[in-house]
Amino acid sequence: MAAGLPPISYASIIVGFISFVVTFFTFLRVFWDSLQTMYRAPKEVQQMLDNLRTELYGERAYFKNAIKQAKSKKTPAREPLEITPLSILNDSIKSMMRDFRSLEAPFLVDEEEADDLDIEKSGKVSLRGSYGRMDFRRRFIWLHTKDDFVTMANQVTRIQARRIAYETSNTLT
């Protein structure tokens, strides 16, 4: 009498093998995406951080100007209604700028690099950041923080849409 495996065992072996193959290729795909992100980090960091910095400072300047204009109007009955949405969006931008500065800090030029590159230190705020060389440490940080920057860019886009809606509704009234 030959001892064979029951049919359910063959099905279990096949399902187990297929699950292993799918898991293995998923792991390879995630690993490959991580390698590509680290490879593209120098260009992506420069582009994304400069664009995000420009958008944040542009929105901040707009809200400062808009709040000044709203406060300078001589109609006190409309003032709280006009300033409240602006101040809420302004506070959001301020918070995002603080978050951006903390996320951006690891990518900025270190003091050692600044001495090597002979960069002048000035108190002026530049819309173009001075980012250091992309060594392995910075690439690894980029791998882990890229999603935070993408999320922040999406939040800025939503704030811009709200600002445009606010401008449109105020222009019509």
For residue 129, is pLDDT > 50? yes
Section 134-143 average pLDDT: 91
Beta strands in 1-97 (DSSP E): none
What pLDDT sits at residue 1? Answer: 42
pLDDT higher at 110 or 53: 53
For residue 30, is pLDDT > 50? yes
How far, in whole angstroms, is CA 23 from its chain's centroid?
29
DSSP category for residue 108: B
Strand partners for 108: 131
What pLDDT sits at residue 133? Answer: 85
Grade residue 33 by pLDDT with cuts at 50, 70 and 90: very high
Alpha-carbon span 34 to 93, nearest angstrom: 30
What's the token pair of residue 158? 């939503």
For residue 125, is pLDDT > 70? no
Alpha-carbon span 17 to 5, nearest angstrom: 17
Tell me the DSSP string of 70-92. Answer: HHHSS-TTTHHHHHHHHHHHHHH
Grade residue 101 by pLDDT with cuts at 50, 70 and 90: very high
For residue 96, is pLDDT > 50? yes
Grade residue 130 by pLDDT with cuts at 50, 70 and 90: confident
Q: What is the mean pLDDT of the chain?
A: 83
Using one digit for the tens of pLDDT, what is the confidence trace for 47-85?
999 999 999 999 999 988 888 877 776 555 555 555 678
